[in-house]
Amino acid sequence: MSRSRHIAPLALAAAALLLAGCALVSVSQREEIQMGRDYSSQLNEELPLVDDDAIRGYVDRVGTDIASRTDRPDLPYEFQVVNTDVVNAFAVPGGFIYMNRGLLEASENMSEVAGVLAHEVAHVVARHSAEQMERARSAGLALGVGSILLGEPRGAARAGIGIGANLYFARYSRAQESEADSLAVGYLVRSGWDPDGLVRFFETLQEMRERRPNALEALFTSHPLTEDRVEHVRRIIDRLPADSLRGLRTSSGEYRTMKEALERLPPPPEEYRVEGDRE
């Protein structure tokens, strides 16, 4: 089964997005929310979502709490868990954030998950995701879920949900990535999570890289995990007053309950599994 056949048109779309960068038109907050709501309701219909309070409910509670401590606390934040082994997360403008089951399973404690949630929330707060969507729109790219993200071809391309979504929403610049990391550290401290979780998650991913390259492909495409990037986050944390880091949580009882619930969950639908991951 050829993955590259599916990726070529996506790469073209990405190139179009980059070219369209200069034609950026600003979006009002109302438009941003409307755009995000429309798109996320299509995603919610198309994607297999995990509807389990111990999993989705917990992610939503932690994500909503983090979002409430940002500079844009009033967006209609919503956090969903997608039932796929692909390790990834992405943000839709307006505050609609998707985290894949595979990411939760790859994590080792809740501060790692909180780190990724805070990073995606930061893309929304800093309007990176709105800019991406506006860019796609001014390039005349159809934003229908059916068109690129989840329509034809099925199979590998659908399992690569992270890949399609990344091309639309997560092709952020290095500057945007590093801004999202900096903001995330602040949000984590404010919401009582150890910001080291973000660094530890990077390390967890690096360890997984050789074992599960297919599961990580989409994530590494949108979030190149360079030494620079990890060092940058470490430096931000090191500059924080020691006081502010005291007593921050790294995990929780609910996290362990969530991991147990994930173990009991049947495998994702076949086209959302990663080749070689589940025998």
Distance of alpha carbon 79 from the chain centroid: 10
| Of residues 215, 174, 255, 251, the one with CA closest to residue 85 | 215
Place of tokens 């190139």: 15
Please give the structure tokens belonging to residue 152.
Answer: 């034809």
Residue ranges of alpha helices (H) inside the chain are 4-19, 29-46, 58-67, 101-106, 110-125, 128-138, 156-159, 161-169, 174-190, 196-208, 213-222, 227-239, 242-245, 253-264
Options 131-139, 178-186, 238-246, 269-277: segment touching Zn ion (CB under 5 A): 178-186
| CB closer to Zn ion, 47 vs 122 | 122
In contact, 56 and 50? CB cutoff 8 Å: yes
CB of residue 120 to Zn ion, shortest distance in Å: 7
- For Zn ion, the closer CB: 180 or 216: 180
Residues that bind Zn ion (rule: CB under 5 A) add up to a total of 1
Which of the stretches 28-36, 89-97, 145-153, 176-184 binds Zn ion when contact is defined by CB under 5 A? Answer: 176-184
Query: Catalytic residues, which ones?
Result: 120, 181
Minimum CB distance to Zn ion smaller for 80 or for 129? 129
- Binding track, positions 106-145, relative to Zn ion; x by CB under 5 A: ----------------------------------------
Binding segment toward Zn ion, per CB under 5 A, in 46-54, 90-98, 174-182, 184-192: 174-182
The site for Zn ion (CB under 5 A) is made up of: 180
